[in-house]
């Protein structure tokens, strides 16, 4: 009699969720296949540093094969660099970009999210978002290239759109980008050009809601806004973007109604902001693999296209398929004593890592015929940095409750937290040295852009 076959677990995506799932399963008697379309694990929280020339790519990313070298030694892990183009949940296989079918007994889908332009996909070409290393290189080339183009303009008026940078969306990424771009203009490049004075650069941060960092408590949002203003960032809240093209952004704002005026009588004002460099940090949509699961397994999707999962992170009617991380729409009771009301699990890296470990435990429970456990998210709080020496920190401390602070101390906390969570010792050391240097000198080492000035935008040189 042949020995029983080892269960095959396929994991799609080696971001925070997929990596945690592989690590949690690697010691078990299962055959794991990890599929990612890139060859690297990316630490997205520091990606804005690559986009703003502060760090180079190897400081925030590491080859998957190197990251998982210890797990590879156990002999039950296969890593494939391929794009998953389809999932057939009932037939239990995923399809790869070359048409190959990869069978599984258990599937964990951790394919993350992408940008959403709220139905205006044509804006993407003018306002790139930040999600992958390729996005970061593209943004970096545009930002650095804009100063070069401004220097070429003979007429001061022609320089203005090149020296106006617009960031749309004031969540953590938008705030980080705007603050850092302003510092580049004010300090890093200040004495490097002849015709232009980069200190006259405008960085405009546009936000639809009434405050920056809407995920934080209002007092920290207010502190962040003050800090941004100190950095010369022009913050415009309550503004809805209605158009983006090669020459700028159109948006509308509502003026407050006059005292005693009828409710809802605020006037809508249209604005036009000429700019050659627009960054999109406003919308997130789940990976298209969510739609593949809806088609093959009847999975329900939420408004952002995320897959609605059961409390144990599996799909309703398909217990052998789990969805985790930014692709999952999961609810969780808080951890600790007392259950509290279930809340949506936020799209952050601790959420993805915790889901990866929980999904792996539940796969093993199913294999061993045990009951699965509901996922319980441990929320440790929120951090965001604003430029090189300010941040806001909102920590959930057991017993003490919320611990909130801002300013330089918050920035130090943010810095060490991010360095601690970076993948691999080499990266931590790199980043620490680069930041220490940049802190004292304002220099940004990763300013070398490979493509010629015209290539990043796909436009033609001005003759
Ligand atoms: C710019 C930025 C800044 C952020 N800052 C913070 C922060 O400060 N703190 C925080 O907690 N969170 C932050 N986040 C959010 C955090 O990075 C995500 O919540 C987290 O990465 C989600 O993990 P994941 O495993 O679900 O997806 P991801 O980490 O996005 O990984 C998805 C993986 O799947 C692969 N993939 C996708 N589609 C396919 C396919 N079809 N076939 C094969 N492979 C595929 C991708 O290549 C990728 O490796 C930030 C995100 C961004 C974009």
pLDDT tens sequence across 75-86 = 999 999 999 999
Verify whether ligand 1 is closer than 6 Å to residue 352 (CB atom).
yes
Verify whether ligand 1 is closer than 6 Å to residue 38 (CB atom).
yes
pLDDT confidence of residue 336: 59
Per-chain mean pLDDT for the chain: 91
To test ligand 1's pocket by mutation, which of 14, 16, 39 has the most ligand atoms within 8 angstroms of CB?
16
Residue nearest to atom 19 of ligand 1 (CA): 348
Alpha carbon of residue 332 to chain centroid: 22
To test ligand 1's pocket by mutation, which of 45, 172, 177 has the most ligand atoms within 8 angstroms of CB?
45
Verify whether ligand 1 is closer than 6 Å to residue 18 (CB atom).
yes
Verify whether ligand 1 is closer than 6 Å to residue 287 (CB atom).
yes
pLDDT confidence of residue 337: 56
> Looking at ligand 1, which atom is closest to the CA of residue 84?
42
Determine if residue 99 is left, alpha or beta; phi over 0 gives left, psi from -120 to 50 gives alpha, anything else beta.
left
pLDDT confidence of residue 157: 92
pTM for the predicted model, two decimal places = 0.92
> 99 vs 66, 278, 290, 292, 363, CA distance in Å?
27, 37, 19, 15, 27
Tokens found for residue 383: 């951090």
pLDDT at 218 over 70: yes
To test ligand 1's pocket by mutation, which of 48, 111, 292 has the most ligand atoms within 8 angstroms of CB?
111
Verify whether ligand 1 is closer than 6 Å to residue 347 (CB atom).
yes
Task: Return the closest-CA partner of residue 384 out of 216, 263, 272.
Answer: 216
pLDDT tens sequence across 126-155 = 999 999 999 999 999 999 999 999 999 999
Verify whether ligand 1 is closer than 6 Å to residue 46 (CB atom).
no
How far is 301 from 101, CA to CA, in rounded Å? 25
How far is 8 from 286, CA to CA, in rounded Å? 26
Residue nearest to atom 30 of ligand 1 (CA): 112
pLDDT at 161 over 70: yes
CA–centroid distance, 355 to ligand 1, in Å, is 13
CA–centroid distance, 16 to ligand 1, in Å, is 7
Poorest-pLDDT segment among 128-142, 151-165, 424-438, 445-459: 445-459
pLDDT category of residue 113 using cuts at 50, 70 and 90: very high
CA–centroid distance, 290 to ligand 1, in Å, is 15
pLDDT tens sequence across 373-414 = 999 999 888 999 998 889 999 988 776 778 899 999 999 999
pLDDT confidence of residue 435: 81
The yes-or-no answer on residue 176 being catalytic is yes
CA–centroid distance, 150 to ligand 1, in Å, is 34
pLDDT confidence of residue 7: 97
To which residue do tokens 């985790």 refer? 324
Q: Is 33 helix (H, G, I), strand (E, B) or coil?
A: strand
How far is 296 from 105, CA to CA, in rounded Å? 16
pLDDT at 33 over 90: yes
Residue nearest to atom 35 of ligand 1 (CA): 13
CA–centroid distance, 233 to ligand 1, in Å, is 27
pLDDT tens sequence across 57-67 = 998 999 999 99
Verify whether ligand 1 is closer than 6 Å to residue 188 (CB atom).
no
CA–centroid distance, 326 to ligand 1, in Å, is 7
Q: Can you tell me the mean pLDDT for 222-246?
A: 96
Report whether 47 contacts 136 (CB < 8 A).
Answer: yes
Residue nearest to atom 3 of ligand 1 (CA): 45
pLDDT tens sequence across 340-371 = 788 999 999 999 999 999 999 999 999 999 99
Verify whether ligand 1 is closer than 6 Å to residue 289 (CB atom).
yes
Q: Can you tell me the mean pLDDT for 227-234?
A: 95
pLDDT at 49 over 60: yes
pLDDT tens sequence across 272-302 = 999 999 999 998 999 999 999 999 999 999 9
87 or 399, higher pLDDT = 87
> 96 vs 62, 87, 339, CA distance in Å?
23, 9, 41
Verify whether ligand 1 is closer than 6 Å to residue 207 (CB atom).
no
CA–centroid distance, 243 to ligand 1, in Å, is 27
Report whether 373 contacts 361 (CB < 8 A).
Answer: yes
Across-strand partners of 201?
none
How far is 10 from 27, CA to CA, in rounded Å? 15
> 283 vs 116, 130, 298, CA distance in Å?
5, 11, 25
Verify whether ligand 1 is closer than 6 Å to residue 284 (CB atom).
no
Find the catalytic residue in 148, 151, 176, 207: 176
CA–centroid distance, 386 to ligand 1, in Å, is 21
pLDDT confidence of residue 396: 80
Verify whether ligand 1 is closer than 6 Å to residue 112 (CB atom).
yes
pLDDT at 455 over 90: no
pLDDT confidence of residue 463: 32
pLDDT confidence of residue 460: 43
Residue nearest to atom 23 of ligand 1 (CA): 16
Verify whether ligand 1 is closer than 6 Å to residue 111 (CB atom).
yes
CA–centroid distance, 272 to ligand 1, in Å, is 33
């Amino acid at each position: 009699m042949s020995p029983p076959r080892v269960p095959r677990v396929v994991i799609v995506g080696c971001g925070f969720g997929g990596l945690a799932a592989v690590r949690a399963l690697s010691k078990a008697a299962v055959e794991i296949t990890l599929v990612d379309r890139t060859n690297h694990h990316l630490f997205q929280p520091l990606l804005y540093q690559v986009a703003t020339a502060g760090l180079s790519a190897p400081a925030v990313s590491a080859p998957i094969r190197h990251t998982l070298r210890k797990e590879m030694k156990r002999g039950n892990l296969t890593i494939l660099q391929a794009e998953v183009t389809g999932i057939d949940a009932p037939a239990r296989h995923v399809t790869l970009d070359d048409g190959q079918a990869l069978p599984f007994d258990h599937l964990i889908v951790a394919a993350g999210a992408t940008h959403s332009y709220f139905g205006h996909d044509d804006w993407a070409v003018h306002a790139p978002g930040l999600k992958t290393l390729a996005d970061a290189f593209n943004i970096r080339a545009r930002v650095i290239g804009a100063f070069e183009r401004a220097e070429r303009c003979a007429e001061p008026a022609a320089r203005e759109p090149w020296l106006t940078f617009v960031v749309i969306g004031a969540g953590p990424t938008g705030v980080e980008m705007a603050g850092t771009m302003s510092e580049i203009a004010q300090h890093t490049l200040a004495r490097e050009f002849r015709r232009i004075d980069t200190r006259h650069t405008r960085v405009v941060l546009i936000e639809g809601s009434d405050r920056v960092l809407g995920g934080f408590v209002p007092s920290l949002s207010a502190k962040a806004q003050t800090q941004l203003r100190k950095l010369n960032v022009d913050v415009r809240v309550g503004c809805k973007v209605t158009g983006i093209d090669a020459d700028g952004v159109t948006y509308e704002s509502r003026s407050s109604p006059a005292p005693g005026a009828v409710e809802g009588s605020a006037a809508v004002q249209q604005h036009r902001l000429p700019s050659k460099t627009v960054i999109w940090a406003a919308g997130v949509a789940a990976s298209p693999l969510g739609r593949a699961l809806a088609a093959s397994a009847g999975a329900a999707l939420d408004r952002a296209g995320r897959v609605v999962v059961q409390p144990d992170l599996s799909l309703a009617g398909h217990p052998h398929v789990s969805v985790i991380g930014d692709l999952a729409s999961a609810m969780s009771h808080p951890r600790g004593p007392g259950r509290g009301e279930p809340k949506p699990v936020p799209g952050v890296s601790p959420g993805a890592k915790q889901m990866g470990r929980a999904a792996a435990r539940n796969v093993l429970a199913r294999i061993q015929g045990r009951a699965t456990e509901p996922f319980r998210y441990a929320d440790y709080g929120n951090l965001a940095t604003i430029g090189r020496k300010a941040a806001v920190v909102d920590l959930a401390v057991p017993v003490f409750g919320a611990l909130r602070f801002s300013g330089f101390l918050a920035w130090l906390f943010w810095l060490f937290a991010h360095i601690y969570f970076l993948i691999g010792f080499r990266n931590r050391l790199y980043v620490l040295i680069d930041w220490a240097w940049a802190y004292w000198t304002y220099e940004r080492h990763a300013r070398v852009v490979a493509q010629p000035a015209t290539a990043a935008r796909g436009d033609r040189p001005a003759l």
